[in-house]
Structure 1
Amino acid sequence: MTEPRTPVARLTGGTASLGGRPVLRGVDLTVHPGEVVALLGANGSGKSTLVRTLVGLVPLTGGTIELFGTPFARFRDWSRIGYVPQRTTAAAGVPASVREVVASGLLDGRRLFGPGREGRAAVDAALDAVGMRDRARDGIAHLSGGQQQRVLIARALARRPDLLIMDEPMAGVDLRSQEVLAGTLRGQQEQGRAVLLVLHELGPLEPLIDRAVVLREGCVCHDGPPPRAVGQHALPGHDHVHPHDDHTAHHAGMGLLS
């Protein structure tokens, strides 16, 4: 684990563009060890782009990133970061079992448990964490969307990361999977892992959130405790799209291209 006072992730003055269009405009974000941070904002506000810069999928055009106290250009210990992108339907076409998909999280060229005891234990623990151990032999194509999402989270957990980044993990999933994912997040929190979540609204995760960072048009407009009594609607940038409505959730997920 990282030193107590060293942030697991720090973005300073971050700017980024997509297709020549500015998306992030001088964003500052710090995530501390053991902290659960929700990244909120309207569609197009830059939430997904921000987390994608942290894992190297979108280059910064300005500003700096440090991961576990190391400048981004010199950071190599990627096994300390688990990343769950927005769920797609691509997993349904993969001819692999649940266990194989989760085990693939160990084979990234940077850290390799291998097929031995440690690797099997890591996969089993990750499947237990998301309540999918009993489906380990099933094909990923035979699972519901919510179950597929749980498997993708297990794939990230298998590497036992110190920082877990999840992009819209609740979008378009059933209530049962939402409850399981909330329990999974609670378990990560209890183990002292940091979690950064892109969310449309806090929902069942609200009791677990330490801090809410709200983006509006690529800028941070709120960074502090999430509102408890008045709910997500009071936060700047809320666009009144609700993931608990299946049709709206689908379009909200598809629209989160930033």
Structure 2
Amino acid sequence: MEQPVISLRGATASLGSRPVLRGVDLAVHRGEVVALLGANGSGKSTAVRAVVGQVPLTGGELELFGTPRRRFRDWSRVGYVPQRTTAASGVPATVREVVSAGRLARTGLGPTRKADREAVTKALELVGMADRIKDSVNALSGGQHQRVLIARALAGEPELLIMDEPMAGVDLASQEVLAKALREEVARGATVLLVLHELGPLEPLIDRAVVLRDGCVVHDGPPPQAVGQHALPGHDHVHPHADPAAEPIRTGLLS
């Protein structure tokens, strides 16, 4: 089988003295869209931050595109959308400037080329923000901020797109726009790992769901089906693959 794009084996990580990942195995293959689900505190965000090098592993192995993480340098192949903060953290910047930063892994600090400008414009068109390219990011709503952060990642034309709760706090219209943008990325062959609180408009795109609980993988397979009572906010979802004697898996999918 082809080498996974992301391979975590026996991954452990701690925040301070608190163990957060406890032996996570996760493989994401080329062209897959994988959703990482789980309750708050289950280790979802820590797992993706470990993949992009923001949280050091205390044990286990991580490879990106078949290369051990410590030797991996080709970050232009990876686009990362962190949990939403303000796009410029109070620094006055235009939408164009923020999204152009997504090209730096490809261009370094060299002059902006036509290809860079076109990639920035295309990324903003994908998220429905091309008409705001000259605006200050400080003038944007929360949903618009999120679109700009996603455009910044897309501008680098990554092979692997990692997104941490891209739909959190985003209105339904923006969710639909982002789902459409993601569909286009998948169509061009991108591999996607998403941390999600609920599947929402992205559900048709998801190939596999990996559910974490207390830093361990408790499900890796088809996305949990949310129908009837399961669709109600706060309903604990008991996955059919779970051990019936075990406590319910609190996926955070719908809570």
Structure-2 change in CA distance of 1:148 and 1:81 (3 Å): same
Amino acid at match of 1:64: E
Is residue 2:156 matched to residue 1:159? yes
Amino acid at match of 2:56: P
1:114 Cα offset (Å): 3.8
Is residue 2:237 matched to residue 1:237? no
Preserved CA contact (<8 Å) 1:77 1:110: no
Is residue 2:100 matched to residue 1:103? yes
Per-residue displacement from partner, 1:121-149 (whole Å, max 9, x unpaired)?
A: 11111111111111101110111100000
Picking from 60, 70, 73, the partner of 2:67 is 70
**2:194 alignment partner, SS class:** strand
Preserved CA contact (<8 Å) 1:106 1:113: no
Structure-2 change in CA distance of 1:102 and 1:29 (3 Å): same
Is residue 2:83 matched to residue 1:86? yes
**1:176 alignment partner, SS class:** helix
1:79 Cα offset (Å): 0.5
Counterparts of 1:229 and 1:21, CA distance in 2 = 32
- 1:198 corresponding residue in structure 2: 195
Structure-2 change in CA distance of 1:96 and 1:70 (3 Å): same
- 1:39 corresponding residue in structure 2: 36
Counterparts of 1:129 and 1:240, CA distance in 2 = 27
- 1:207 corresponding residue in structure 2: 204
Structure-2 change in CA distance of 1:60 and 1:101 (3 Å): same
Structure-2 change in CA distance of 1:120 and 1:17 (3 Å): same
- 2:55 corresponding residue in structure 1: 58
Counterparts of 2:132 and 2:166, CA distance in 1 = 20
Per-residue displacement from partner, 1:61-111 (whole Å, max 9, x unpaired)?
A: 000111001111111100000001000146362311101100011224875
Preserved CA contact (<8 Å) 1:94 1:140: no
**2:88 alignment partner, SS class:** helix
Preserved CA contact (<8 Å) 1:91 1:148: no
Is residue 2:215 matched to residue 1:218? yes
TM-score, normalised with respect to structure 1: 0.87
Q: How many aligned positions are there?
A: 239
Q: Give ranges in structure 2 of 5+ residues lacking alignment.
A: 232-236, 240-248
Amino acid at match of 1:66: E
TM-score, normalised with respect to structure 2: 0.88
Counterparts of 2:67 and 2:39, CA distance in 1 = 31
Identity %: 69
Structure-2 change in CA distance of 1:190 and 1:113 (3 Å): farther
- 1:176 corresponding residue in structure 2: 173
Structure-2 change in CA distance of 1:227 and 1:238 (3 Å): closer
Preserved CA contact (<8 Å) 2:213 2:251: no
**1:7 alignment partner, SS class:** coil
Amino acid at match of 1:130: V
- Structure showing greater Rg: 2
RMSD: 1.9
**2:176 alignment partner, SS class:** helix
